[in-house]
Amino acid sequence: MRLLLPVSIIVLTLLKDSWQATKIKIDPGVKPTFISTSQVFKVQSDETVVLPCRVANPGPFVLVWKRGIAVLSAGETLVSPDPRVTLNPDYSLEIKEVLPQDAGDYVCQIGTLEPIEITHTLVILLPPRIDYIKPAEHLDVKIGSSVRFECKSSGNPPPKITWSRINNILPSGEQTVTTQELTLDKVDRRQAGTYQCLASNGVGEDARKNITLKVLYPPEIVLETPVVYSGLNKEAQLVCIVHGVNQPTVTWHKHNLRLNPTEHHIIVPRVTRYTLIIRNVTENDFGNYTCQAENDQGRSKKVIQLTGVPPPVKVVSPRTGKCKDNYNISWEVESFTPITEYNLTYRLLGDVNEDSTSKYATKRGGKRFDKRKLAMPIIGSLQSVGLQSMSYNIRGLEPNQQYEAHVTVKNKYGWSPESEAFTFKTSDSDESTADNPHLFADNAIGDVQSVRSFTANKAQLIGSTAVTFIYTILIILLFFN
């Protein structure tokens, strides 16, 4: 009995084998044919692949697996010494933990008189790998030079290389470019950053490598404003924005003398923003200040002017007037020191419907500037400093014409810079007839004493002089307080 059990298993196994054998060998007279067809198998390395070879009517013929000239198996005998290779009972060839060198053609052949065969192609997919990047992972280049980045990758299928910049777009303005080599022409400081090469082929994980580009350049200074308007006992802030690698050294100078931090001169460096604070400005403080920045690539400087003169005025009246022959121009200025004079210049540009520039040119050619002074006594008190609004009614204009005006104001330190040219247009009809005749009646042409009212913070001057199309009116305000 003890023997019987293993024996019966052997018998059963034999029976099973012969049953299978009889099932395949349906008709020994018929030639064997392949049920499996030639195929391409794409697998990643380390995986297992099974290459099928199913045959109908195998008959007595021997089935052979070959790779090139090497025979891997013959019949039920495995020839290959490679432990990763096994032959399954259905004659399929199984390869475990495939390696890149397993790639190639595998032939399953039936040893008939004229052998017939199928060929499987094994493709081993390899995730992308970046073999090297050129010129280096960290690169320092001088401003203005050109650089070429190269990213060399391997993998199967060959990976696609894409360049991008971390937290930024590429200098070309694109988010990414697909190219092996990325060229940057004439680099400037905005092209500094971390560039990333990404290799992808759809197999496994993408590969990435960085190139950090540092652009070396002499410091660049940007002024927040080239002129700082201030007044006595005020605090003035002079600001230089300094761009530069390797921490530029920033110093402040006045008249070639280096300024050291004191109670009066406070120097605040904050990242790229360097501020010189002048506390309690005195007349001696007015003048030109230089901020100078230096690093190992060079040095640069910029001048900031601290001045007591008023800033340029801002004209605030609407561009289209309400009346045919007069226009109320009003402006604002923030002065730290009392304003003593105004200078209003205006001229005809031309008919609104015509080309204003050509008209202006021809008319101007034939005429001279006609300058007049108007002395204006002040009634009431005028607030001396802070934001001030003023207006002046320009009389004797032509209807439906375009004019250009400039306004400057003066305090004891001098004239403000000229404001931008302000253009306005007279109306072709009087919008309101109730107010204007009254105004004209009170203000005869040439009447220089025609101040109507002064309120705190607001000077309104009405009056005009003989009319040509180019005027300059200088108004001197006399202060009683």
Ligand X SMILES: *[C@@H]1O[C@H](CO)[C@@H](O)[C@H](O)[C@H]1NC(C)=O
Nearer residue to ligand X within complex by CB, 201 or 345: 345
Taking CB under 6 A as the criterion, the residue among 80, 210, 275, 427 binding ligand X is: 210
Question: Rule CB under 6 A: is residue 340 a binding residue for ligand X?
Answer: no
Question: Rule CB under 6 A: is residue 33 a binding residue for ligand X?
Answer: no
| Cα separation, 414 vs 341, whole angstroms | 10
Burial class (CB in 10 A: 0-12, 13-18, 19+), 8: exposed
Place of tokens 């022409």: 185
Question: Rule CB under 6 A: is residue 194 a binding residue for ligand X?
Answer: yes
Site for ligand X in 379-438 (CB under 6 A): 391, 393, 406, 408, 418
Contacts of 280 (CB under 8 A, 6+ apart): 233, 234, 235, 264
| Phi then psi dihedrals of residue 360, to 5 deg | -60, -45
For residue 273, give the DSSP letter: E
Contacts of 92 (CB under 8 A, 6+ apart): 50, 51, 52, 53, 54
Q: Which of 312, 473, 335 is nearest to 411 (CA)?
A: 335
Question: Rule CB under 6 A: is residue 129 a binding residue for ligand X?
Answer: no
Radius of gyration of the chain, Cα coordinates, nearest whole angstrom: 46
Nearer residue to ligand X within complex by CB, 201 or 330: 330
In angstroms, the first-to-last Cα distance of the chain is 137
Place of tokens 């595998």: 106
Nearer residue to ligand X within complex by CB, 415 or 479: 415
Question: Rule CB under 6 A: is residue 230 a binding residue for ligand X?
Answer: no
Question: Rule CB under 6 A: is residue 253 a binding residue for ligand X?
Answer: no
Taking CB under 6 A as the criterion, the residue among 80, 119, 460, 468 binding ligand X is: 460
Q: Which of 413, 84, 45 is nearest to 227 (CA)?
A: 413
Site for ligand X in 303-332 (CB under 6 A): 303, 305, 328, 330
Q: Which of 160, 164, 165 is nearest to 200 (CA)?
A: 160
- Number of residues lying near ligand X (CB under 6 A): 27
Where does this chain touch ligand X (CB under 6 A) — which range of 36-44, 60-68, 180-188, 280-288?
A: 280-288
Taking CB under 6 A as the criterion, the residue among 24, 44, 472, 476 binding ligand X is: 472
Cβ-contact 58, 110 below 8 angstroms: yes
Taking CB under 6 A as the criterion, the residue among 45, 162, 164, 343 binding ligand X is: 343
Taking CB under 6 A as the criterion, the residue among 282, 320, 358, 449 binding ligand X is: 282
| Cα separation, 412 vs 426, whole angstroms | 35
Site map (CB under 6 A) of ligand X, residues 130-149, x = contact:
--------------------
Q: How far is the CB of 20 from ligand X (least distance, A)?
A: 55
Question: Rule CB under 6 A: is residue 109 a binding residue for ligand X?
Answer: no
Q: Report the interface residues with ligand X, using CB under 6 A.
A: 166, 194, 196, 208-210, 233, 280, 282, 287-288, 303, 305, 328, 330, 343, 345, 391, 393, 406, 408, 418, 439, 460, 462, 472, 474
